[in-house]
Amino acid sequence: MTTTTMDIAHDNDHHDDHGPQKGWRRWVYSNNHKDIGSMYLIFSLVMLILGGASAMAIRAELMYPGLQLLEPDLYNNIVTNHALVMVFGAVMPAAAGLANWMIPLMIGAPDMALPRMNNLSFWLLPAAAIMLVLSFIVPFFPGGGSQINTGWTLYPPLSLQVGMAMDFLIFTVHLLGVSSVLASINIIVTIFNMRAPSMTLWNMPIFVWTWLVTAFLLILILPVLAGGVTMLLFDRHLGTSFFDAAGGGDPVLFQHLFWFFGHPEVYVLLLPSIGVLSHIIPAFSYKPLFGRKSMIGAMILLASIGMVVWAHHQYTIGMSSAAVSYFMIGTILISIPVGLMKFNFIATMWRASMTFEAPMLFAISIVAMFVFGGLTGVMLAIVPADLQYQDTMFVVAHFHYVLMPGAVMALFAGVLYWLPKWTGNMYNEKLANWFFWTSLIGFNGTFFVQHFLGLAGMPRRIVDYPVQFTEFNFISSVAALIYGLSHILFLYLVIQTIRGKGTTKAKSRSWKGAKGLEWEVASPAPFHTWDSAPTVDAEGEIKQK
Amino acid sequence: MAASDNKKTAKKLFVLVAGMFVFAFAMVPLYNLVCEVTGLKGSDNRAGLPINQDIDTTRKILVEFDGIVNSNLPWEFEPSTRQLEVHPGEVANVNYFVTNLADKAVTGQAIPSVIPWFGSQYFKKIACFCFDKQKLEAHESADMPLRFYVSTEIPKDISTLRLSYTFMNLEKTGS
């Protein structure tokens, strides 16, 4: 078996058997999972800065009532862009970058199963990013048409009336979809076929499990979104009437297609982060993860229920009360598997002699903040309450409370946790603590007050507001500036660790309590790892002879 | 051995992807079917004259009328009456007044919707301008008739029905 694994590596990679190619060829032609993983992560960081800049623009405009900086159309354009850049440009590629780097290391595989397809799925992303930026700036050129003012949901009829910028955006969604689907197929094939022969599905690391479920979700939902936006494109240019009421179409159909994708998409963003936490929390609690099998069960349950509750985003479209009740009960049921995961995390920390390195600080705060975001989610799931809360800043506060800790911060934690493995250097712990505390204060200051704004009736996606909302908006904007600037610390931290100046060298097991195959290889991880598959025991550790 | 296994697994997954893409398009007829079965769609509710329906004089339903013009249709569109009280089963007439403001002939069609949604199926139209495309010459005006009744089967908890028309432009204008 060992020799067969070697043979695959030779079949696929014989031209860089002796290390990476030189210069730009190393990156453009790369089919090495570590290099592609790094490119994903760097791409994600660039997109995070772009999306963060648009968030700063939004908060700057909302700092005071009235129109100061942005025209209403430009404001809505930026809101649309912010969401798409963050979801598709920052979070999903970052999670894919972690998957590329860690999955082969964790399951004892020499590389991803389909390395050339891996290269394609990454290099589609910069193309998509250029299209996305074009969709933002094309209205500023003569004949460029109107700006995209629909928000990321792209609802018709508004999206049928926007100028050519919408076509750029539709093709962006297509490219991003193809990229993610290819990456997902690659990940599933890798997990099924490339595991070390002694590693069963049950003793596979939880991060790999979360990505297996995520990849299946992506395969099921992204083609539906692609179909939906293709119909938009047909309606816009080919005279069809899928959504155009003038020809007998129904705009609400698009909402169903969009949210059939859009709701499971939030679990796509969440699950890899749950996987990251499932490694960090046991490592710094020096205990195995509590309820490992229930964790796997919970994530499968979460994904399955998550596929069939999409219409809770559309309570106000006029569904029958039977349909609304079904979607309400289904949505509330989701809190059971999610709650179970959180209880497992808490039980892992229970009576543990924990240490509080930056990844652990993030992990603990994420569990607390995510539970809070989940509770406002239950509030929003309740139909009569939702009719009051929907389309207000309360919703904005809710989904930032689940996505920021649940996706973005967990990815930061994961990067800090595995950075020693990638670079061979320990990051500067003091700086990481500064980053943690400033971003924690900045994040909560930005979004906590938005709950009050929403409950008091401030609508979302509107450029201006009545003067009674001034104070909370001012607090939110100042905190947002702190939050935004805190990321400079992160950027500095990462560059410093990569350059290795003023840092200490990392051991191969960089954290005392860290478990798993990735800590068996040297730090930094060599260009080729696990050329021969390791033999693991029931805990997924290397079998001691 | 394993390399061809990889391709086999990948092929199966590609079939799944293609299947889901087709599923998105299959949602279109599926959705229309569900809407028709549940009566949710603001369908045109064509009906003949009320048969075997005595006028229920014990109840009155307030019917409100509303007319909107889609932003790319250069028309004015307004009901002659804003609201009307009818007994269930009683046939009533309302006119909508339409003017084409453009310098050329334009074809449009009105798309109805009824609020509350579940009251939609009890609003029966005997004749309606919304059944057909309407063509107005340059600066032409017209009275467009609607003849309807409210079914006697309308549930007790509905006392108001609001009928809203949106007139759509059927000429391809582009955006």
Model pLDDT, residue A313: 94
Supply the mean pLDDT for chain A: 92
Each residue's pLDDT tens digit, A384-439: 999 999 999 999 999 999 999 999 999 999 999 999 999 999 999 999 999 999 99
Average pLDDT of A60-86?
94
Q: For residue A257, give the nearest of B5, B24, B118 by CB distance.
A: B24
Q: Which domain holds residue A399?
A: 353-531
Instruction: Report d(CA A159, CA A150) in Å as an integer.
Output: 6
Asked if residue A408 is part of any domain, the answer here is yes
Residue A430's CATH number: 1.20.210.10
Put simply, the answer to whether A320 touches B40 (Cβ < 8 Å) is yes
Each residue's pLDDT tens digit, A3-58: 444 444 444 444 445 678 888 888 999 999 999 999 999 999 999 999 999 999 99
Phi, psi of A103, deg, nearest 5:
-60, -50
B57 to chain A, closest Cα gap in Å: 29
Model pLDDT, residue B40: 58
B93 to chain A, closest Cα gap in Å: 25
Q: How many CA atoms lie within 13 A of B85 on its CB side?
A: 6
Model pLDDT, residue A427: 94
Asked if residue A507 is part of any domain, the answer here is yes
Q: For residue B10, give the nearest of A185, A227, A320 by CB distance.
A: A185
Pairing label, strands B160-169, B106-115? antiparallel
Residue appearing with tokens 């908060």: A59
Q: For residue A228, give the nearest of B24, B116, B172 by CB distance.
A: B24
Q: What is the helix, strand, coil percentage profile of chain B, to 5? A: 25, 40, 35
Structure tokens at A79: 């809101």
Structure tokens at A385: 């309450």
Asked if residue A423 is part of any domain, the answer here is yes
Structure tokens at A74: 């430009």
Put simply, the answer to whether B117 touches A12 (Cβ < 8 Å) is no
Instruction: Report d(CA A427, CA A420) in Å as an integer.
Output: 7
Cβ–Cβ < 8 Å for A43, A125: yes
Structure tokens at A43: 């791409």
Structure tokens at B19: 């299947």
Model pLDDT, residue A517: 92
Kindly state the DSSP code that residue A394 receives in the 8-state scheme.
H
Residue appearing with tokens 């191969």: A508
Put simply, the answer to whether A219 touches B28 (Cβ < 8 Å) is no
Supply the mean pLDDT for chain B: 84
**Domain coordinates in residue numbering, chain B:** 1-38, 61-169
- The correct answer on CATH 2.60.370.10 for the domain covering B61-169 is yes
Asked if residue A111 is part of any domain, the answer here is no
Which of A494, A296, A480, A305 is closest to A404 using CA atoms?
Answer: A480
Asked if residue A477 is part of any domain, the answer here is yes
User: Quick check: B24 contacting A, CB < 8 Å?
Assistant: yes
Cβ–Cβ < 8 Å for A50, A89: yes
* pLDDT above 80: residue B2: no
Instruction: Report d(CA B16, CA A310) in Å as an integer.
Output: 21
C-alpha distance across the termini of chain B, in Å: 55
Each residue's pLDDT tens digit, A322-338: 889 999 999 999 999 99
Put simply, the answer to whether A318 touches B6 (Cβ < 8 Å) is no
Residues of chain A in contact with residue B117, where contact means CB-CB under 8 angstroms, are 318, 320
Asked if residue A179 is part of any domain, the answer here is no
Model pLDDT, residue A355: 95
Structure tokens at A532: 């021969």
Cβ neighbours for A142, distance < 8 A, ≥ 6 positions apart: none
Structural domains counted in chain A: 1
Cβ neighbours of B37 (radius 10 Å): 9
